[in-house]
């Protein structure tokens, strides 16, 4: 089963034009990076998983079943990935700067889902923001906005 998921994901990244829904590869890459945030502190809470599911449903207009499958695929791929290059490069290729900033903002919202931000989560978001070429000022702005949203 895991091999089938891995093959599906690699085929989708390698040849997105052959898929019925080519944008799904970007969804997978984004979901994989978001999964990295909730895994950063080595504790995935139900609140974080629910928040991720809601984010993916809202962001990509997918059904709950599709998001459940997407999360399983993203988790499996993150487990097998050596680094973030395959995810980050795909996102940088297809997302403009504003969309990359939006993804970093989602990372901050997800980090707050369990009520606090662990230093490991913050470090992971900083690292991913750097790889996505999001400026430090936009990284901080997204963090402060997510904190305000959380407190509201």
Please give the full DSSP string across 87-134, using - where no structure is assigned: HHHHHHHH--HHHHHHHHHHHHHHHGGGSS--HHHHHHHHHHHHHTT-
Domain that holds residue 23: 2-151
Token pair listed for 107: 């990372």
- Taking 90 as the threshold, does the pLDDT of residue 25 lie above it? no
How far, in whole angstroms, is CA 62 from its chain's centroid?
Answer: 15
For a pLDDT cut of 90, what percent of the chain falls above it?
A: 32
Selection from 93, 83, 77 nearest residue 10 by Cα: 77
Top-confidence residue, 78 or 60: 60
Total residues belonging to the chain: 152
Which residue would you say has higher pLDDT here, 6 or 135? 135
Write out pLDDT tens, residues 90-118.
Answer: 899 899 999 999 999 999 999 998 888 89
Whole-model pTM over 0.75? yes
- Residues 38 and 75: beta-carbon distance below 8 Å: no
142 confidence band (pLDDT: 50, 70, 90):
very high
CATH of the domain at 28: 1.10.3680.10
Q: What is the pLDDT of residues 37-57, one digit of tens each?
A: 988 888 888 888 999 999 888
- Quote the number of domains for the chain: 1
């Amino acid at each position: 089963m895991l091999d089938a998921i891995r093959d599906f994901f690699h085929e989708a990244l390698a040849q997105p034009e052959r898929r019925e829904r080519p944008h799904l590869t970007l969804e997978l890459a984004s979901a994989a990076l978001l999964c990295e945030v909730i895994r950063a502190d080595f504790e995935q809470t139900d609140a974080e998983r629910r928040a991720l599911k809601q984010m993916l449903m809202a962001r990509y207009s997918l059904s709950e079943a599709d998001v459940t499958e997407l999360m399983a695929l993203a988790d499996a791929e993150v487990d097998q990935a050596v680094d973030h290059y395959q995810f980050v490069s795909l996102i940088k290729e297809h997302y403009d700067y504003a969309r990359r900033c939006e993804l970093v903002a989602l990372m901050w919202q997800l980090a707050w889902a369990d009520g606090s931000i662990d230093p490991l989560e913050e470090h992971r978001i900083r690292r991913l923001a750097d790889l996505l070429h999001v400026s430090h000022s936009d990284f901080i702005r997204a963090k402060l906005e997510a904190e305000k949203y959380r407190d509201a």
